């Protein structure tokens, strides 16, 4: 262990609850969130939330879409995904169990975090679906968790509609045609 690592503060959820501003907590390290993204990012954000909510409503599933809510992964890890879908109704407080689906919208400031750290974290925690939206490229990358706890792009998910087995008794048909309009 390096000398610097010995003196680095290891934060917990108890510490996190007292912070002001936009933060995440990664394995005890405080990570500053970037300022809100620009108009294109915000537009895509709104459209994916609406598309998911509409798909869930149309399916009759008992699932809930949440926006930028804290997910308390462990006592030293808290993340705030762009969009989260959980099976069942909304939690009274923060999300404290793995969501069924997480969406991250890439930006210059978050691209590496979303493609590396969060992808690995979500897979390790058992998040069934991780959808990565790239507003600049106009692409959607749907990733499904495999039996080996790794993400893979399902071979049948390359059209304008994404069929997602969200919860055990719930399949939604996500219309992706209008997300980047």
Q: What is the pLDDT along the chain (181 residues), one digit of tens a residue?
A: 455 556 679 999 999 999 999 999 999 999 999 887 788 889 999 999 999 999 999 999 999 999 999 999 999 999 999 999 999 999 999 999 999 999 999 999 899 999 999 999 999 999 999 999 999 999 999 999 999 999 999 887 656 788 999 998 899 988 888 898 8
Enter the pTM of the model: 0.91
How far apart CA 173 and CA 54 sit, in angstroms, is 9
Please give the pLDDT value at position 35: 80
- pLDDT for position 162: 87
Q: Catalogue the long-range contacts made by 140-148 (C-beta closer than 8 Å, 24 or more residues apart).
A: 140/176, 140/179, 143/119
Q: How far apart are CA 142 and CA 112, in angstroms?
A: 17
pLDDT for 161: 82
Distances (CA, A) of 159 to 44, 59, 142, 180: 18, 19, 11, 14
C-alpha 149/C-alpha 80 separation (Å) is: 21
Q: What structural domains and CATH numbers belong to the chain?
A: 37-175 (3.90.1570.10)
Residues with Cβ within 8 Å of residue 71, at least 6 apart in sequence: 78, 79, 80, 81, 84, 94, 95, 96, 99
- Rounded Cα distance between 165 and 75, Å, is 29
Pair of tokens at residue 49: 């939330």
């Amino acid at each position: 262990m390096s000398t610097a690592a010995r003196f680095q503060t290891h934060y917990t959820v108890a510490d996190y609850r007292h912070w002001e501003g936009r933060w995440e907590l990664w394995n005890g390290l405080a990570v500053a969130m970037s300022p809100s993204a620009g108009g294109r990012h915000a537009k895509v954000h709104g459209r994916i939330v609406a598309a998911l909510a509409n798909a869930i409503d149309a399916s009759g599933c008992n699932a809930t879409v949440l926006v930028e809510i804290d997910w308390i992964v462990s006592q030293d890890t808290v993340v705030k995904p762009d969009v989260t879908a959980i099976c069942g109704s909304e939690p009274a407080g923060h999300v404290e169990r793995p969501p069924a689906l997480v969406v991250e919208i890439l930006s210059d400031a978050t691209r590496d975090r979303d493609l590396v750290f969060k992808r690995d974290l979500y897979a390790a925690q058992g998040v069934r679906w991780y959808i990565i939206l790239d507003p600049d490229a106009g692409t959607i990358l749907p990733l499904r968790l495999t039996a080996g706890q790794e993400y893979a792009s399902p071979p049948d998910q390359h059209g304008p509609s994404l069929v997602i087995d969200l919860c055990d008794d719930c399949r939604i048909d996500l219309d992706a045609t209008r997300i980047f309009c």
